[in-house]
Amino acid sequence: MAAASAAAGREAPASATRRGRRRKRGSIRWGKTPRKAPPPPPGPGSSSSPRGGVDTPAAPATTLPAGALVEVRVDGAGFRGVWFEATVVSYAPARGPRTPARYAVTYAHLLDDADGGELQEHFAPTHVRPRPPPHSPSDGDGDGSFPPRFHLHDVVEAFHHDGWWSGIVVSAPDSPDPRASVTVAFPLTREVIPFPPRVVRPRRDYVDGAWVPSRSVVVVRPTHAVRVYKAGDKVEVGRERDVYGYSWFPATIAKAVDDLSYIVEYFDLEEEGDGGGGPGKATEYLHWSFIRPAVEHLPRESEFQLGPGAAVEAYCDGAWSPGVVSRVIGDGEFEVSVAGKKAEQLVAKVVELLKPQYKWNGKQWKIVIPKVIQ
């Protein structure tokens, strides 16, 4: 636990938990969202990136005094770089490699679950910064208007569940209007939420005592390098389905927002298009862990043989669904067991609609070991 807390830039309190910290935000849908939590991103040692580990911000050049209004960054699971407003209580300088410098802060909007009082925690200086100044003419369109005028795919932060969460704008009014909504998409939760403009701000980083526009949404990086995509790349996108479980849809990278998150487009046979009568085109903003390259695998005969017990992916209603061959039906046709959300599904597939099942960890493929049919 100590190592995990240090990696997050804070020390966990002995008896306090954060009230109000919730991963879910309550959502509307932009494209198609999963109906249950997707598999977690690969852990340390199973991914690949131009830079590894947490993207650690620079510590403020000067020590922040007691009473200073600040923001603190939480990198733990479910938060991944969310900034929470706080006030500095004290600062303890480093006393050697095993006793690093730490700020003690109290949160502005979070309470101690134990007694309902102020929640105090400790953070590394790299995860404490002054609160950003109010909107200025350099934000948005640069006309000094409030609320700022946002544009499609602007990198922003939205105040939600007591913290500032990173995302991109997917819909905004053409002119500043405090009554209109700014809709923001979040890559880790796949949620798309409309916000009042007053709780959305351009995302900025505090560098050498100055605030500069940020070009990245995802700040907590995998331990190792992961595959980087570019616009036009053919990929597959994972999403949960009621009937066929977690499945992979053929997709195309529409835009790289940063090197860890992307806007993708794909067709969903469960959704009707705008004109009706055909598959709907889904557009989503996604974290890299929901994406894999579109690759045709040619395993060695010693690795894969199509027959009972073979781990495969079956093409079902527009997407590839993992399953296991249960029996041979006839020449070139197989019965496959697919784990649906509510029940197992048995589907009959010809060999052209089956392929070996592989796992992608962000960098490498690994074939799934076949199961033994008794």
Closest by CA to 156, choosing from 171, 175, 143, 177, is: 171
Confidence (pLDDT) at 21: 43
Cα angle 332-333-339, degrees, rounded to a multiple of 5: 140
Q: Specify the 3-state DSSP secondary structure of 295.
A: coil
Confidence (pLDDT) at 274: 55
Confidence (pLDDT) at 135: 66
Residues across the chain: 374
| Grouped pLDDT means (10 residues each) for the chain, 374 residues | 40 40 35 36 33 57 92 89 96 93 96 88 95 68 62 95 96 79 94 94 92 91 91 97 95 97 90 60 95 91 89 95 95 93 92 95 90 53
Closest by CA to 312, choosing from 338, 348, 346, is: 338
Please name the residue that has the structure tokens 């894999």: 292
Please tell me the distance from the alpha carbon of residue 178 to that of residue 12, in angstroms, as a whole number.
Answer: 39
Confidence (pLDDT) at 47: 32
Domain positions in the chain? 1-226, 234-293, 311-367
Which structure tokens are listed for 294?
Answer: 């579109």
CA dihedral 206, 166, 257, 180 (to 10 degrees): -110
Confidence (pLDDT) at 105: 97
Residue 340 CB coordination number (10 Å): 14
Residue 142 CB coordination number (10 Å): 11
CA 205, 42, 261, 201 torsion-angle sign: negative
Confidence (pLDDT) at 145: 56
Rg (CA), the chain: 24
Please tell me the distance from the alpha carbon of residue 42 to that of residue 50, in angstroms, as a whole number.
Answer: 16
Confidence (pLDDT) at 169: 97
Closest by CA to 205, choosing from 60, 316, 306, is: 60
